[in-house]
Amino acid sequence: MHRTYQHTLKRAVRLAGIGLHTGKLVEMTIKPAPEDFGICFKRLDVEGDTLIPGHFENVVATKLCTTIGQRSSQGLIEVGTVEHLMAAFFGLGVDNALVEINGPEVPSMDGSAAPFYTVMKRAGLSRQKAARRAIKVTKRVSVEIDGKEITIEPSDYLTVDFEIDFDHPLIEKQRYHARIDEVCFERHIAKARTFGFLHEVEYLRANGFALGGSLENAIVVGDEGILNGEGLRFPDEFVRHKILDLLGDIYLLGHPLIGKIKSKKSGHALHNRILRELMAQRDAWEFVDRLGDGKLVPELVQPSVIGGPQAIRTLVTPAA
Ligand SMILES: [Zn+2]
């Protein structure tokens, strides 16, 4: 994660599966991409070459998942549930990749980031020439809505302190505090699955959500216990998954973040709000890299140099 240079995948990887909310079977190919390309999505089932950069400014919906979108002549082109895949990119330290997908939602796989992480790790990473810029927090920024709160403070590392509080005897209060590095992510966070409550399933489905949800891709919490026969992967899998969501959402900055994140019950909406708040306060962060003295002159660097038609033309796309 704390790398000097940008990285992309050594070769393309392909995954297929059902979207958690849409229930649609989709195929997804993740391809290597050039320096400063960022993580960009492209819908193969929509005409045109519109790219949707995985960037917090392109987040168009945050209900139950993070959806990004881009306006084009075809209207708004969207990709839903990007957060677990973004978390896998974050965990591996992938800076540049093109995600081609033939449907509206990233496949849910097993409800965690592990399948994405594992397949990309197996493909291997390739070091690029451009420096990897991180965004280092220099001033405390905080957002609070309806008893949910998230704060980012200066620190020399990325640390997360997350607390959840559900009115359910199987979960209740869970808190997880860790310095997030590659080992921590792989061992303790990547495998944590998304979860839902049985009593909400009917309501969600009536409203077009969780149509692809099952015991294969989510922990389902009933009144008496977990419905999944294999049980939990960690006793506190719920809070670990919330951290996974947070890390995926935060990676929509387009750069790794260096700071101390404290959250109480935050979700996708608040994660997006804190990024907008942080980036809007120009004295609250600076770009840093690991070349030379590690510091860049902030004014010389644009915060969202990511994707675009120029980048797609230079894209190297080996066969999968
Ligand atoms: Zn999630």
Alpha carbon distance 191, 129 (integer Å): 31
What per-residue confidence (pLDDT) applies to 304? 41
Sign of CA dihedral 306, 307, 308, 314: positive
Q: How much is the pTM?
A: 0.91
Backbone angles phi, psi at 233, to 5 degrees: -80, -25
Alpha carbon distance 279, 222 (integer Å): 40
Mean pLDDT computed over every residue of the chain: 89
Crossing angle for the helix pair 268-280 and 237-250, to the nearest 10 degrees? 40
The string of pLDDT tens digits covering residues 52-101 is: 999 999 999 999 899 999 999 889 999 999 999 999 999 999 999 999 99
Mean pLDDT for the stretch of residues 162-178: 92
Instruction: Check pLDDT > 60 for residue 320.
Output: no
Cα of 191 from ligand 1 centre, angstroms: 11
* Ion ligand 1: protein residues whose beta carbon lies under 5 Å: 194, 245
Cα of 295 from ligand 1 centre, angstroms: 34
Cα of 189 from ligand 1 centre, angstroms: 11
Cα of 3 from ligand 1 centre, angstroms: 26
Cα of 151 from ligand 1 centre, angstroms: 20
Mean pLDDT for the stretch of residues 182-206: 90
Where do the domains of the chain lie, and which CATH numbers do they carry?
5-132+298-313 (3.30.230.20), 135-288 (3.30.1700.10)
Sign of CA dihedral 48, 49, 53, 57: negative
Q: Is 2 one of the catalytic residues?
A: no
Alpha carbon distance 266, 138 (integer Å): 22
Q: How many CB atoms lie within 10 A of CB 101?
A: 25
Sign of CA dihedral 29, 111, 67, 158: negative
Say which of 7, 55, 84, 268 is annotated catalytic.
268
